[in-house]
Amino acid sequence: MSSVTVINDAQFESEVLQADLPVLVYLWAAWCGPCRLVSPSIDWIANNYADRVKVVKMEIDPNPETVKAYKVEGVPAIRLFKGDELVHALEGAITKDKLTTILDSNL
């Protein structure tokens, strides 16, 4: 069983861009209502896709460098990386089914 790793701007390169597995980056904010709806799906992915994808989460307010670099304009936001390549980007609330469909088509 895996869990979601909480990271910050300083850890982004080592935890995401240099990871051995593809990485699902979940960007959120404490004040974001839809983020509270999506969080359980992110936890489910971390536990059920642990052998295929690493899941990290970043709070946007204290991490402006990553937010700017990956053009995050709204939360919740999802970014899927394979190595240092961004392969999928999504913003807004998403269902677990839609999230698994995106992962299955990109992993």
| The pLDDT value given to residue 2 | 63
**What pLDDT does residue 21 have?**
96
Predicted TM-score (pTM) of the model is 0.95
Q: Tell me the pLDDT tens digit for each residue of 29-40.
A: 999 999 999 999
Q: How many CB atoms are located within 10 Å of the residue 105 CB?
A: 8
- Count of Cβ atoms closer than 10 Å to residue 2 Cβ: 15
> Which active-site residues does the annotation give?
32, 35
> 4: which DSSP letter?
P
Within the chain, which residues score under 50 in pLDDT?
none
pLDDT of residue 39: 96
Which of 16, 32, 13 shows the shortest CA–CA distance to 24? 16
| Per-residue pLDDT, 1 | 52
**Residue located via tokens 């069983």:** 1
Query: Tell me, what's the pLDDT at 5?
Result: 96
